[in-house]
């Protein structure tokens, strides 16, 4: 079982990011749950979602502790969730926004310059997708092809077709870092 | 192929697939995805979507559509469902089939938008005026929510009654893979419907009004004969208690999933706890509590309320076992460790620290609920 939290400012796309990871895992035949924090939140506020991927039926969909993978898009997310990551867990940090030191030596930390890279490809909104590079580098949950398949489904409307190569390029730059 | 869906989306699409052609709603968190989905899809499916002027408007539109013989639904969340109670009472009085989903939040009053289970009494004890019940289904997974929508429309038509689906914000908002199986629907004639007949049959009248005592009483007695049939045929429960288990934990809906985690934790340390999950809240599976294995010593009820279902469990248990209670309210959701600690307390074992940092409720906090 892999217990994940995706967290950041509202508007950074953490809910969509978690949904994409959950969708990929579902296509791979896994049991999955996706649970948003759906309190009174807004753009610029905080948002997070819990994603669980497992081989057997999932009980509680809420991940508040024993986090295997934390994907933190802003500093507040690091403050809130870092203490709840399991020893040996993985912490993916958007280092463009997160300025503080990730202060734990019993977890693996990967810094990804996500917002900067998104700026490089010309669309700040793909910063969330850049974080997927961390999954590709540090886990065997899915491949770049899996991501492409899900993006093709998501952007099935003709109007947004050009977003697929944009997203993939952002992820590839993230992997090259 | 499975599709990742929110509970709210599953309920919406399942309703369309089950032949619902008239949806009337009004916005309220955490059920907003349902009217949103219906506004996008219902018309394309050949049905009617109306965002009513209020919850009261919506339930009375349901009354009209049901009287015309079509499959119809409204959804809301706790305070909105409270507003619909007059309409639900009238629907019951007029024997009209419909489906009402309550994506419950915490209360009372406007309360908050976070999950709650404190509408149990409202759902299972009538809720409006007069003698009536409605069947109440309580899904625990998004797949179950999908499947129950089909069943609810069938049960509504079969027994000519409103049916409620009671979930909470957690299940409404969470996503899980759904096998979008279209279950065959019960096709039943509705010779009572006021659907226009060009004088080919005597006029049908749909009303809950009767000013003659004996006539109204006969209608009530007949309705309770139907309730007896529903109790006999439709009571549903998932009972995982086996010989050797000492603690039965009773929970329903999405919170029952949290209890499953607690049970795993307890069993790993040698405390044999098991889950009883009522699937229908009315009719309630009272008999389950009379047929438990001899090894059972304690019953614990866990719900996101001050202990409303405890009353039904007590009725089922009928003094046979001590009944304990653990609950959270106000939108606070218990974590598995809280339930496990409550069981440890019952078994005389020391508590463990809670992973989330939440505060364990004590019996003195919850006094009145037990």
pLDDT digits (tens, 9 = 90+) for B223-276: 999 999 999 999 999 999 999 999 999 999 999 999 999 999 999 999 999 999
Test A32 with B2 for CB contact under 8 angstroms: no
State mean pLDDT over B207-229: 97
Of B114, B175, B258, the CB nearest to A60: B258
SS3 readout for chain B: CEEEEEHHHHHHHHHHHCCCCEEEECCCCCCCHHHHHHHHHCCCCCCEEEECCCHHHHHHHHHHHHHCCCCEEEEECHHHHHHCHHHHHHHHHCCCCEEEEEEEECCCCCCCCCECCCCHHHHHCCCCCCCCCCCEECCCCHHHHHHHHHHHHHHHHHHCCEEEEEEEHHHHHCEEEEECCCCCCCCCCCCCCCCCCCCCCCCCCCCCCCCCHHHHHHHHHHHHHHHHHHHHHHCCEEECCCCCCCEEEECCCCHHHHHHHHHHHHHHCCCCEEEEEECEEECCCHHHHHCCCCCCCEEEEEECCCCCCHHHHHHHHCCCCCEEEEECCCCCCCCHHHHHHHHHHHCCCCCCCCCCCCCCCCCCCCCCCC
Q: Between helices B142-159 and B213-234, what is the axis angle to 10°?
A: 140
Q: Which residues of chain B are in CATH 3.40.50.920 domains? A: 238-366
Which residue in chain B is spatially nearest to A16 when comparing CA positions?
B175
A chain contacts of residue B261, beta-carbon cutoff 8 Å: 59-60
Test B113 with A31 for CB contact under 8 angstroms: no
Q: How far apart are the first and last CA of chain A?
A: 29
What confidence tens digit (pLDDT) does each residue in B5-16 have?
999 999 999 999
What confidence tens digit (pLDDT) does each residue in B273-311 have?
999 999 999 999 999 999 999 999 999 999 999 999 999
Test A60 with B173 for CB contact under 8 angstroms: no
**pLDDT value at residue A125:** 93
pLDDT at B197 over 90: no
A chain contacts of residue B30, beta-carbon cutoff 8 Å: 38
What confidence tens digit (pLDDT) does each residue in A39-69 have?
776 667 889 999 999 999 999 999 989 999 9
Test B4 with A32 for CB contact under 8 angstroms: yes
| Smallest Cα distance from B253 to chain A, Å | 11
Domains and CATH numbers, chain A: 2-176 (3.40.920.10)
pLDDT at B370 over 60: no
Q: Which residues of chain B are in CATH 3.40.50.970 domains? A: 2-234
Give the ipTM of the model, two decimals please. 0.95
Q: Between helices B255-268 and B336-346, what is the axis angle to 10°?
A: 50
Q: Give me B88's structure tokens.
A: 């639900």
Number of Cβ within a 10 Å radius of residue A83: 12
**pLDDT value at residue A158:** 65
- Residue whose C-alpha is closest to residue B321's, from B302, B299, B339: B299
What confidence tens digit (pLDDT) does each residue in B133-178 have?
999 999 999 999 999 999 999 999 999 999 999 999 999 999 999 9
Number of Cβ within a 10 Å radius of residue B108: 12
Test B174 with A36 for CB contact under 8 angstroms: yes
pLDDT at B106 over 90: yes
**pLDDT value at residue B283:** 98
A156 band by pLDDT with thresholds 50, 70 and 90: confident
Test A62 with B335 for CB contact under 8 angstroms: yes
- Mutation for B interface: A34, A80, A149, A153, most B CBs within 10 A: A34
In CATH, what class is B2-234?
alpha beta
A chain contacts of residue B2, beta-carbon cutoff 8 Å: 26
With vertex at residue B333, the alpha carbon angle to CA A66 and CA B169, rounded to the nearest 5 degrees, is 110
**pLDDT value at residue B198:** 76
What confidence tens digit (pLDDT) does each residue in B24-61 have?
999 999 999 999 999 999 999 999 999 999 999 999 99
Q: Which CATH architecture fits B238-366?
A: 3-Layer(aba) Sandwich (3.40)
Longest dimension (CA), chain A: 46
Which residue in chain A is spatially nearest to B32 when comparing CA positions?
A38
| Smallest Cα distance from A101 to chain B, Å | 23
State mean pLDDT over A137-147: 96
Of A33, A66, A84, the CB nearest to B176: A33
Of A19, A31, A66, the CB nearest to B175: A19
Test A34 with B4 for CB contact under 8 angstroms: yes
């Amino acid at each position: 079982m892999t217990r994940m939290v995706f967290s950041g400012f509202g508007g950074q796309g953490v809910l969509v990011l978690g949904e994409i990871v959950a969708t990929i895992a579902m296509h791979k035949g896994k049991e999955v749950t996706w649970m948003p924090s759906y309190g009174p939140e807004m753009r610029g506020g905080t948002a997070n979602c819990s994603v669980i991927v497992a081989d057997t039926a999932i009980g509680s969909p809420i991940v508040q502790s024993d986090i295997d993978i934390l994907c933190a898009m802003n500093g507040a997310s690091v403050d809130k969730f870092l203490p709840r990551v399991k020893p040996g867990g993985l912490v993916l940090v958007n280092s463009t926004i997160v300025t503080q030191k990730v202060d734990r030596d019993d977890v693996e930390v990967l810094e990804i310059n996500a917002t900067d890279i998104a700026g490089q490809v010309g669309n700040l909104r793909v910063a969330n997708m850049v974080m997927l590079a961390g999954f590709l580098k540090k886990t065997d949950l899915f491949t770049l092809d899996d991501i492409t398949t899900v993006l093709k489904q998501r952007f099935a409307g003709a109007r947004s077709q050009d977003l697929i190569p944009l997203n993939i390029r952002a992820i590839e730059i993230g992997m090259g870092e | 192929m499975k599709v990742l869906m929110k509970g709210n989306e599953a309920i919406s699409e399942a309703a369309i697939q089950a032949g619902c052609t008239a949806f009337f709603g009004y916005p309220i968190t955490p059920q907003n995805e349902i009217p949103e989905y219906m506004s996008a899809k219902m018309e394309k499916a050949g049905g009617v979507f109306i965002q009513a002027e209020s919850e009261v408007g919506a339930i009375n539109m349901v009354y009209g559509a049901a009287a015309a013989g079509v499959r119809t639904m409204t959804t809301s969340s706790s305070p909105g469902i409270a507003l619909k109670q007059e309409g639900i009472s009238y629907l019951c009085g007029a024997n009209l089939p419909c489906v009402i989903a309550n994506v419950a939040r915490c209360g009372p009053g406007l309360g908050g938008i976070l999950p709650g289970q404190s509408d149990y009494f409202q759902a299972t004890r009538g809720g409006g005026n007069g003698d009536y019940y409605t069947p109440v289904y309580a899904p625990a997974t998004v797949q179950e929510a999908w499947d129950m929508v089909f069943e609810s429309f069938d049960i509504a038509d079969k027994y000519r009654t409103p049916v409620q689906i009671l979930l909470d914000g957690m299940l409404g908002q969470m996503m899980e893979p759904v096998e979008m199986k279209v279950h065959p629907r019960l096709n039943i004639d509705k010779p009572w419907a006021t659907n226009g007949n060009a004088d080919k049959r005597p006029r049908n009248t749909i009303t809950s009004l009767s000013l003659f005592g004996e006539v109204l009483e006969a209608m009530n007695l007949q309705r309770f004969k139907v309730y007896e049939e529903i109790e006999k045929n439709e009571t549903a429960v998932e009972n995982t208690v086996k010989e050797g288990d000492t603690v039965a934990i009773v929970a329903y809906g999405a919170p029952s999933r949290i209890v499953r985690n607690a049970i795993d934790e307890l069993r790993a340390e040698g405390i044999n706890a098991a889950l009883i999950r009522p699937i229908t809240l009315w009719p309630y599976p009272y008999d389950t509590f009379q047929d438990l294995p001899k090894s059972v010593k304690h019953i614990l009820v866990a719900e996101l309320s001050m202990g409303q279902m405890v009353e039904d469990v007590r009725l089922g248990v009928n003094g046979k076992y001590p009944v304990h209670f653990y609950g959270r309210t106000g939108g606070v959701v218990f974590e598995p460790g809280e339930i496990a600690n409550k069981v440890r307390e019952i078994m005389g074992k020391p508590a463990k620290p809670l992973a989330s940092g939440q505060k364990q409720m004590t019996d003195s906090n919850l006094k009145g609920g037990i």
